[in-house]
Amino acid sequence: MKSLSIAEVMALKPDPNGEGPPERYPYLSAKRPYYSKAKIRWPRAIWISGEGRWARVAHCNGLTVELHKTKEEAEEAKCMIDSSACGGFCYGDHSVVDMNTRSRREEERLRKWQAKNERRKKREKAG
């Protein structure tokens, strides 16, 4: 799978056949798919490091993301920053996220697409 430029990603259109939801968030890199997905999911992150399905996310004093291959590694990293703080302005807003689940924004986009598709199918049946 080739990497896409930002312009190519922004130019992506919904599936013309209506077979599936619009793919506005494709993986940008085949070599580091979770890193690329994290960059898309958290565009305002100060830094993103590592590679793996599980993300340790810290929202304190700017968003930082650290990717891990296993949930245990991510939980261990979260425990470490919970106990020692993640920086000078740490207020303990740390979490572990499964990168294979959809974000709220992606869920909302999918719901809108499904509703739009249902309306289109009803119009086609009626007309």
What per-residue confidence (pLDDT) applies to 72? 95
Quote the percentage of the chain above a pLDDT of 70: 75
Is pTM, for the whole model, over 0.75?
no
pLDDT of res. 8: 52
C-alpha 59: how far from its chain's center? 15
Residues 21-61 pLDDT 10s:
444 444 445 566 888 888 888 888 999 999 899 999 998 88
Q: What is the Cα–Cα distance from 91 to 101, expressed in whole angstroms?
A: 26
pLDDT tier for residue 110 given thresholds of 50, 70 and 90: confident
Half-sphere exposure of 28 (CA within 13 A, CB side): 15
